[in-house]
A and B are shown apart, each in its own frame.
Chain A
Amino acid sequence: MAAEQAKVDPMYQFTIEPLAGSGGWELAGYNIAFTNSAMWMLITTVVLFLFVLGGMKRELVPGRWQMTVETFTGFIDNMLEANIGKAGRKYVPYVFSLFMFILFANILGLLPLGVIGLHPFTFTSHFTVTGVLAIISFAIVLIVGFWRHGLHFFSLFVPHGTPLPMVPVIAPIEFISFMVRPFSLGLRLFVAMMAGHVLLEVLSSFVIDGTNAGAGFGLLVGLPSFLLMIGICALELLVAGIQAYVFALLTSLYINDAENLH
């Protein structure tokens, strides 16, 4: 073992720290410290703003950037139209915001900024964040459902063609599966992001510790781990996109339930 123990704590990357003495900020008794997590939310918002701003040239013949932005809006638009129908168009602003916010957060969190001394922070790996997003989506489903269908919305828990004697059994199951939705929605994103980051950190600790232990271990453990990391980085980029897509897709499916019942 090398003299100084290279300590890689795979969990340290998720630590939230107040920035620049904002630790004491409070609002109505609640702590609202401007943390590194909030900082990356700000960065995500700004980057996303600049990205969409580049697509606002409103040219008849779009440039590359405008084309890219229009591809994303068209993608969300198509997804909502396919899942909800014409009524889905009014949810484009929300689902687009959700999708792009999560996507940019995931990808920005993966940037190798550690090389230049910055510490990327993936706030989507915190269930406090994904949970709030899931609750917002779920709240929209409830509000839209009760707004459009009133108490008839409860018929969602009785699928079409259920025999009458089965209703008392089916309805609670449907109700539970409905209530589980926000948890599964929030936890899926949080777990996927966290698992990927932990995996990368653990592998990097293998590379560092293996190399520190000598050339033999470096070749035997460090090099394969490093190669694996490269592959997993690519996989994580894919996961970043897929998880944002899944979140938006499930949200649109749930909104479809509220819009069209069954």
Chain B
Amino acid sequence: MPQIAQLAETWSSQVFWLLVFFGITFFVIGKGMVPKVMDTVAQRDGQIAADLAAAKAARDAADEQEEAWRVKENENRAAAQAIVAKAKDEAAAKSEKKLKAAQARIDKKLADAEAQIEEARSAALAEVEAVAADAAQDIVKTLAGVKVTKPVATKAVKEQMAHG
């Protein structure tokens, strides 16, 4: 077993070179490089955590803005509906007014026309009476040979016409 057989002649060299190379490993790699590597890892972890936090904050802000927008939108909608309702009411009132005016005009025209018709009718009736009185005078004169004065004839005709 060379480990024991060569112990006396090699132990000092083994220990010396191990201390040299393990020392280099420890001081250069362990002390010098490993902290930097771990630093990078820590930086990355920090970066990831920060990014996640930023993303969360952005999402929260977006939610907030959306909520605000929703509220505003609802307000706008309500305002628009109010305007529409108001316009509708106004339009309805206006058209009602117009309709009323038109109705009044029509009623007036109707009344005028009726009056005219009434006038024409009474005129026509008077005419008819006069004609009937004349006719009655003539008929009586012819049939009975009685001379009936005009006012009597007219009165008789009026009576007859009143009786229907």
Residue positions of A touching B, CB distance < 8 A? 11-12, 14-16, 18, 25, 27, 30-35, 37-38, 41-42, 44-45, 48-49, 52-53, 55-56, 58-60, 62, 66, 69-70, 73-74, 77, 92-94, 96-97, 100-101, 123, 125-129, 132-133, 136, 190, 194
Contact = CB atoms under 8 A, between A and B. Distances in A.
B49 to A, nearest CB: 13
Interface of B: 1-3, 6-7, 9-22, 24-26, 28-31, 33-38, 40-41, 43-44, 47
A97 B35 CA distance: 12
Contacts of A93: 26, 30-31, 34-35
A97 B32 CA distance: 11
Contacts of A32: 12-13, 16-17
B37 A55 contact: yes
A77 B42 CA distance: 12
Contact of A128 (B14, B28, B37, B38): B14
B42 to A, nearest CB: 10
B37 A94 contact: no
29 contacts: A14-B3, A15-B6, A16-B14, A31-B9, A32-B16, A35-B14, A35-B17, A38-B13, A38-B17, A41-B17, A41-B22, A52-B33, A56-B37, A58-B36, A60-B44, A66-B37, A73-B37, A77-B38, A93-B35, A94-B30, A97-B25, A97-B30, A123-B14, A123-B18, A126-B14, A128-B7, A128-B11, A132-B15, A132-B22
B18 A129 contact: yes
9 smallest A-B Cβ distances: which pairs?
A93-B30, A38-B17, A97-B30, A30-B12, A41-B21, A128-B14, A14-B2, A97-B26, A32-B16
- Taking each of A18, A52, A62, which has the highest tally of chain B beta carbons within 10 Å of its own beta carbon? A52
B3 to A, nearest CB: 5
- Taking each of B28, B38, B44, which has the highest tally of chain A beta carbons within 10 Å of its own beta carbon? B38
A77 B37 CA distance: 12
Contacts of A25: 13
A125 B3 contact: yes
A256 B114 CA distance: 122
Given A49-B29, A128-B10, A96 B15 contact: no
Nearest to B4: A127
Contacts of B12: 30-32
A11 B2 contact: yes
Given A30-B12, A34-B17, A96 B6 contact: no
Contacts of A74: 38, 41
Nearest to A130: B18
Contacts of B22: 41, 97, 101, 132-133, 136
B19 to A, nearest CB: 7
A30 B47 CA distance: 53
A73 B34 contact: yes
A87 to B, nearest CB: 16
A56 B33 contact: yes
A34 B40 CA distance: 37
B21 A44 contact: yes
A197 B2 CA distance: 14
Nearest to A39: B17
